[in-house]
A and B are shown apart, each in its own frame.
Chain A
């Protein structure tokens, strides 16, 4: 007997998502939410959407989970070989160009928006936005995913050039938290990855530790149980 299929068992895995990357003085910070959905069901509430490409370059993935994974797997494979031949760490621009080539040459098949960010000694911290279609743009900061719609106004006002690492990290966490507050396809925890000359640092900002916004309330024991 076949199990009944419903919309949410058949729907493709999609990372509704909010992703972003910000360049600061000395490196970059990548940030993402952690929700993966199949239709309306949350298939994974603690996904890691920030994927490593090389020691010094990372990738934020959004859109179709499968498409973004396949692109990141190929690019990691290419860069692995490239680094061996080159004899030193590959540049962020090279990583971005490879991601762009895959996105552009396969634009009719792929549905994934990507952000490549990292640090190299030639350009310092760099952020490259590669949206649907395969356009590649170097930007001081980039956002992506369905949750990014809610951040245009906020970042128009809140982003400033030449931020320190602390300021940039606070901005990333607050932005993703705001997007999670309004976008049903984004949720869970906020993961951040800092990449600079010294190396890489991963941070985990738990969902219940994120700032609360309009109409959200802090957890407390049930009013019916209060003595």
Chain B
């Protein structure tokens, strides 16, 4: 055998030991010292062979490098990492208290942007911003005035529009498993439920059933985080992975602000027993829905329509649907 050293501890190839053929391949692979050895041996007619071997390597790379890991697998790996943090005492653990602290630390810049809804002085700015949001609101299918119970024009309500916009942005960002997802979501079920109860003041009955039972419906519980809503309501963001179609669905559950009026909490004007579907979002394949149950408002957001019925059922969404853009 006239190639290689055969010693796995060797750090580099001894080019002088290689046959001419092996040396040409090593030169094509840009192995250190190969071209110099070719020159030293006076092999000057190997250009076409080197080009062939380089082209073959490029071809292998091109033919085989395109595939990406399934999104569901990515979610499972990230979820597993979170579980490891939680379950191994010597690893960084993320209790819900810690998760909340991390979330608040990360949320400050965003809150600074969104919490302008809280002051009367800034409310005018908010409305001006929503006017500027008009183009964005169009995609949500809520640009038309919607009369709920014959009195509240919910789709002209700046707070409601802002919440919809916020929810869409939050879902789109977290669904990519960005740094904030990694820093703030917990996938440990008991902690998630504790966190939800802490944030919402009480536990919506459907939520625990949904988180514990989602695997029976082909979903993976991808985590729960507290969520700083524009109007300071207590809120959580729950994410599910739909295994069959490898897509993410977010549920945002928001508790009513105590003593809030319909102006301050516009979803109070929504009819209980009806799911409101943002029509253009639905048509564009990125569903955005809202419904009320008890003291909570539920928002559903996804980039896919397929898993929506399952998530709706798990969260006991009202069967009756109204299109928000075409009432």
Q: A and B, one complex? A: no
List chain A positions with a Cβ less than 8 A from chain B: none
